[in-house]
Amino acid sequence: MTNKASVDELIQLIVREPSAGSTCSSSLAQGPWEFDTATPNYGPGASSEDVIPASSPIQGVLPDEYKTASVEELHERIVAAKQTLGDSVIILGHFYQRDEIVVHADYLGDSFQLAKAAQAHPDAKAIVFCGVHFMAETADILSTPEQVVILPNLAAGCSMADMADIDSVNECWEQLEEIYGTEVDESGRVPIIPVTYMNSSAALKSFCGEHGGIVCTSSNAETVLKWAFERGQRVLFFPDQHLGRNTAKAMGIPLENMPMWQGRKPLGGNDEQTLKDAQVILWNGFCSVHKRFNVAQIEKARIDFPGVRVIVHPECPMPVVDAADEYGSTDYIRKAIAAATEPTTFAIGTEVNMVQRLAAQYPQHTIFCLDPVVCPCSTMYRIHPGYLAWVLESLIAGNVVNQISVDEQVAQNARVALERMLAAKPL
C-alpha cells in the first residue's frame, strides 16, 4: 500500500486479496444503490453493533443511466451541470467524502466550517450537501426559507447520531430534573445545561435550544463546555461519550465526576448520589469509525516509525487520545500537517478518506492511518458521483429531489442552539 493510493483503489485491493480478520466489506466496491432501497441499514463495512432505527430514510431508486455510467462520464456530467446551474447552487463536501465527490465541492470542511458556509450563501437557490443526514438538516435550519437543501443519498445517515433519540433524552431530562430541581445557585447557574454534538438529529438540537443549551463540534467543544459551565452547574453531553470525556478531562474535570448515562435504564444505570456529584453526564454513544483505533496501533507505529507524530480525533476512546501526541478536529489535523515545515511521519487516527487525501496532498511527509484495516465511514461513502449527477441534473430539469426539510417548530429552537454554537468560536 502506498501513501498515494485512493480509498477506492484500496477497496478494490480488498476485493482481490481479502485479508483474514478484515472487518472492511468488499461489498463497498459495489454501487451504494445495491443497498439503498432495502430495509434501513448503515451499509457494508458498518459495525454490527450499530442498530439503525426502523424510521430511518430509505433512498429511492436511482435511474439506471447513473448506475451504468463510468466514473469519467459522471465527472463530465457533474462539471457540465455545475456550469449550467452557476451560482444558483453550492456544493458542500465533508472532509470524509470520497475524492470523486470532493473534487466537485465548492466548500470542503468539517461540520463547523460547513455550517458557516451554508449560512454564508443566502443567494444560492439550492445547497447540495455531500455529507450525512444531520448535516443537511443543520444546513436547512441555517439557510433561508427560500433555499432548498438536498442530500444526494437519503440513506447517508450517522450511527452515532442515532444513538440518542428525542424520547430517550426527554426521559433522561425528566429524571435529572427530579433529582436536581430547578433552583439556581448563588452564581445564577441553573442545575444542568444540555449540550449536543453536531452529530445529532434536528430534534435534539431543538431540545437544547428549548432548554438553554447549545450545540458543539469537535472544533469548539472546549469553548462550548466553558460556555455551558458559566450558565449551569452541570452538563448533560450527548451523543458522543468520547468527545465529552476527552474534552472535559482536558479541562481538569475528574473522571469520577463524569458518569455514563445509559438510555432506557432508571437513572441511566447510576445511583442518585453519583448524579448529584456529577459535573458532566455522558451519553453512551460513540463513532464506530473512531472506536476502531486503539493504543496497540499507536505503539506499533512508534516501533515501526521512530519519531512518528501521532494525531487522533477526539471521538477516539480516552486511552487512545492519552497515548497520542496530539488530538483535535479534522480541521486541526489538516492544519497541523500543513504547518509542518520539515519532512515528518504522521500516524493519524481518523477516517481514512481524509488521511489518504492528506497523504497525496503532502508527499514530502509520510502519512498513514493508524487503523491497518482500510474501511471508510460507510454512510459518508454512500454519497456516490452517480447520486450527485442525478440531483444536479434534476435541478436543471426543474425538479428538486431528496430535499431535506426540518419542521419549522423544531427548526426554531434548533436555530437558537446552532447560533450559540456559531458564536462559540474555537480556541
Number of domains observed in the structure of the chain = 3
Name 166's Cβ contacts closer than 8 Å, sequence gap at least 6. Answer: 201, 203, 204, 207
Residue range 137-148: mean pLDDT, rounded:
95
pTM score, whole prediction: 0.91
Per-residue pLDDT band for 303 (boundaries 50, 70, 90) equals very high
Residue range 276-305: mean pLDDT, rounded:
96
Please indicate, yes or no, whether residues 314 and 341 belong to a single structural domain of this protein. yes
**Phi and psi at residue 233, to the nearest 5°:** -75, -25
Q: From its phi and psi, is residue 307 left (phi > 0), alpha (psi between -120 and 50) or beta?
A: left
Please indicate, yes or no, whether residues 392 and 365 belong to a single structural domain of this protein. no
Per-residue pLDDT band for 377 (boundaries 50, 70, 90) equals confident
Q: Which three cell numbers stand for residue 61?
A: 431508486
Please indicate, yes or no, whether residues 106 and 202 belong to a single structural domain of this protein. no
135 within a domain of the structure (yes/no) = yes
Please indicate, yes or no, whether residues 113 and 18 belong to a single structural domain of this protein. yes
Please indicate, yes or no, whether residues 97 and 237 belong to a single structural domain of this protein. no
Report strand pairing: 366-369 vs 280-283. Answer: unpaired
205-242 core/surface letters (b: 16 or more CB in 10 A; e: else): bbbbbebbbbbbbbbbbbbbbebbbebbbbbbbbbbbb
Q: Is 364 exposed, middle or buried (0-12, 13-18, 19+ CB in 10 A)?
A: exposed
Please indicate, yes or no, whether residues 143 and 23 belong to a single structural domain of this protein. yes
> What pLDDT, on the 0 to 100 scale, is given for residue 383?
93
374 within a domain of the structure (yes/no) = no
Name 226's Cβ contacts closer than 8 Å, sequence gap at least 6. Answer: 251
Instruction: Give the domain range for residue 52.
Output: 7-159+379-405
2 within a domain of the structure (yes/no) = no
> Is 136 in a helix, a strand, or coil?
helix
User: Does pLDDT of 21 surpass 90?
Assistant: no
Element (H, E) at 423: helix 408-423
Distance CA 406, CA 204 (A): 12
Please indicate, yes or no, whether residues 270 and 419 belong to a single structural domain of this protein. yes
Per-residue pLDDT band for 263 (boundaries 50, 70, 90) equals confident
> Is 195 in a helix, a strand, or coil?
strand
Q: Mean pLDDT in the chain? A: 91
> What pLDDT, on the 0 to 100 scale, is given for residue 419?
94
Per-residue pLDDT band for 51 (boundaries 50, 70, 90) equals confident
Please indicate, yes or no, whether residues 37 and 111 belong to a single structural domain of this protein. yes
Please indicate, yes or no, whether residues 359 and 391 belong to a single structural domain of this protein. no
